[in-house]
Amino acid sequence: MRRKISTKQLTIGMFVELPVAWGKHPFLKNRFKIKDPEQIRKIRECNLTHILVDAALSDVAVPECTQTGDDEPLLDPKDQPVPERWNSDTLAPVELLEALNDTSMASDMKARAVYEHSRTMMERLFESPSAENIVTSKKVIASITDLVLADDETSSNLLRITSHDFYTYTHSVNVGVTALLLAKELFRDSDAHDLQELGAGFFLHDLGKVMVDPAVINKPGRLTDAEMAHMRIHPFQGFKILKQANALSDECRYIVLQHHEFHDGTGYPKRLKGNEIHRYARICCIADVFDALTSERSYKKAMKPFDALKLMRQQMSEHFDKELFAEFVLLFK
């Protein structure tokens, strides 16, 4: 699937793998899709004559073979050690911490800053999911939860500005915010629920995807049955990672383990039904499906929230806890 081509042949839309150590190029990742000419210029400035391009992940045709003339040996990036990039000091962007602590910031600006920089934090966590980073992210998510709980204006702004690309970290924040808003409504008059723990469970629900082959996660198209089976390891893997990190209460770990279980027993991994599924996981499931429908994929357009809710009510209602879904719809009134 990967082809070695000359850097002279690079075009926008190619999914490249840089054959140099992570510290020797200016990019955040060793593998990425080229989005603009500036990235091509920077790749060439790394003094590379050839580069690996993954044809399956590219949006454009990739030449079959290399151009002649440049015979420099090419190191496979898989042989290059990628350092642990993020640690507990660098995981949360400074801008996120500042926005969370800034009491004078206008509500819409605050929502945007918190949203954008939480995505960055989640992206970093998915790159470096160490136990220490999980614990750090949980502390920051607790502050985000406090913001959602305390400030109705910022939380409704957060719901409004969610973007809908296909990245796991964007999805994690969208589901985190949306599920928290539902939990806020449901548990408004109760102090029996630890919403900070719940927030962490919602934001981290897909953490197990770090154990899924990136080629499957990034596949620009529908998954085959085998790929889908592989993808379905993520709830249990996430549960296991969080248990090992000892970072979440038992019941909030069930959010991670059961967020793909459906009310009618047609979900996975255990095909649980109704009350066999933890209530917190039933909340997460609704937010998860809603975000999947309202997000863009290479094989489908994003649905508008109203259309997604309609489809969920008309064609998927058996998947959800009816009472929770009715409350979820009210969030968008």
Where does this chain bind Fe ion (CB under 5 A)? Answer: 206, 288
The full 3-state SS of 55-105, as one line of letters, equals: HHHCCCCCCCCCCCCCCCCCCCHHHCCCCCCCCCCCCCCHHHHHHHHCCCC
Instruction: Name the 3-class secondary structure at 330.
Output: helix
Nearer Cβ to Fe ion (168/196): 168
The distance of closest approach from Cβ of residue 232 to Fe ion in the complex, given in angstroms and rounded to an integer, is 9
| Nearest-approach distance from CB 204 to Fe ion, in angstroms | 10
Give, rounded to a whole angstrom, the gap between the first and last alpha carbons of the chain.
47
Give the nearer residue to Fe ion in terms of CB position, either 10 or 231: 231
Q: How far is the CB of 255 from Fe ion (least distance, A)?
A: 10
Closest CA to 283 of 191, 148, 186: 186
d(Cα 206, Cα 185) in Å, to the nearest integer?
23
Cα–Cα nearest to 154, from 196, 189, 112: 112
Please give the C-alpha separations between residue 299 and each of 1, 232, 304, 305, 315, in angstroms, as whole numbers. 20, 20, 16, 19, 20
Q: Which is nearer to Fe ion, 57 or 257 (CB)?
A: 257
Choice between 115 and 203, CB closer to Fe ion: 203
Do residues 18 and 30 lie in contact, with contact meaning Cβ atoms separated by under 8 Å? yes
Beta-carbon-side half-sphere exposure of residue 180 (alpha carbons within 13 Å): 34
Q: Which is nearer to Fe ion, 22 or 166 (CB)?
A: 166
| Residue 246 buriedness (CB in 10 A; 0-12 / 13-18 / 19+) | exposed
Least distance CB 100 / Fe ion (angstroms) = 24
329 Cβ contact partners less than 8 Å away, ≥ 6 residues apart: 309, 313
Cis peptide before 269 (omega within 30 of 0): yes
Decide whether 289 or 331 has the Cβ nearer to Fe ion: 289
d(CA 148, CA 199): 10
Minimum CB separation of residue 285 from Fe ion in Å reads 9
The residue among 5 and 257 lying less far from Fe ion, judged by its C-beta, is 257
Closest distance to Fe ion from the beta carbon of 235 (Å): 6
Residue 186 Cβ vs Fe ion, minimum distance, rounded to whole Å: 20
* CB half-sphere exposure, 78, CA atoms < 13 A: 2
Tell me whether residue 288 or residue 321 sits nearer to Fe ion (CB atom): 288
Q: Which amino acid is at 224?
A: T
**Residues of 186-195 as b/e, b for ≥16 C-beta within 10 angstroms?**
bbeeeeeebb
Smaller CB separation from Fe ion, 54 or 206: 206
Nearest approach, Cβ of residue 205 and Fe ion (Å): 6
Q: How far is the CB of 228 from Fe ion (least distance, A)?
A: 12
